[in-house]
Amino acid sequence: MSDAHYRPARGDGERGLAPGGEERLHPRVRMALATWPQIDPAVEAIVNQVHDADKLFGAEMRESLAHVNLTMEEFKVLIELRTGSRTHGSLSRDLEVSTGAMTNRLDKLEREGLVSRARDPNDRRGVLLSLTEAGSERLDAYIDRGAHRERQLLEGLTQTDKRRLNDLLAKLLDSLRAEQAG
């Protein structure tokens, strides 16, 4: 049967949801299912729950970063520099930000003593950016706090649950990447 003619069965179990699963769906998802019967409730539930979990984890991450006086964008720069010195251009490309935005970010991090700039010995015109000891300490402080908070957030899952969830998420990502590459 083609997707254009897909009509999900009405029982939750036959719809890919655990018994009583439809009641746990977000109201906007229930509205969408009632309005567009071609929507697969199991797929819609997965998409929305992954999105909601990402939003919640992101909010927790931003809170932990704020505790050590970093933004998400600054964290990304520091974590990139953790592996070694980089050029301005390579950071901009890898983090997918304009060179102007990167300059502003680097200026702030340099003023705070978290990164340093030095001449590139292989390019007279180039500058290499490095993580300072203070930058490394700030990054470590966030990692300590963030890792602790992530463990707290997942305390409701057993080790078996975590392994199963990791396996399913890896399978989902493999499928999404294959679809995107295909």
Q: Return phi, psi of residue 10, to 5°.
A: -90, -25
Residues 100, 106, 107, CA angle at the centre, nearest 5°?
90
- Encoded amino acid at 38, one letter: Q
Is the model's pLDDT at 12 over the cut of 80? no
pLDDT digit string, tens, across residues 58-76: 999 999 999 999 999 999 9
Whether residue 72 contacts residue 46, with contact meaning beta carbons closer than 8 Å, is answered with no
Average pLDDT, integer, range 169-177: 96
- Claim to verify: residue 105 and residue 121 sit in the same structural domain: yes
Residues 94, 62, 145, CA angle at the centre, nearest 5°?
100
Provide the domain count of the chain.
2
Of the ranges 37-46, 78-87, 113-122, 173-182, which one carries the lowest mean pLDDT score? 37-46
Among the three residues 51, 66, 81, which one is the final residue of a domain in this structure?
A: 66
Q: Return phi, psi of residue 71, to 5°.
A: -100, 170
Q: Per the structure block, which two tokens stand in for 41?
A: 């409730």
Q: Per the structure block, which two tokens stand in for 64?
A: 């932990």
Is the model's pLDDT at 155 over the cut of 90? yes
- Claim to verify: residue 89 and residue 54 sit in the same structural domain: no
120 located within any domain: yes
If DSSP codes are grouped into helix, strand and coil, which group holds residue 105?
helix
- Residue scoring higher pLDDT (44 or 79): 79
- Claim to verify: residue 76 and residue 135 sit in the same structural domain: yes
- Claim to verify: residue 49 and residue 87 sit in the same structural domain: no
The DSSP symbol for 17 reads S
Using pLDDT thresholds of 50, 70 and 90, give the confidence band for residue 15: low
Using pLDDT thresholds of 50, 70 and 90, give the confidence band for residue 4: very low
- Report the run of H or E that residue 88 belongs to, with start and end: helix 88-95
pLDDT digit string, tens, across residues 31-62: 888 898 888 888 888 898 899 999 999 999 99
166 located within any domain: no
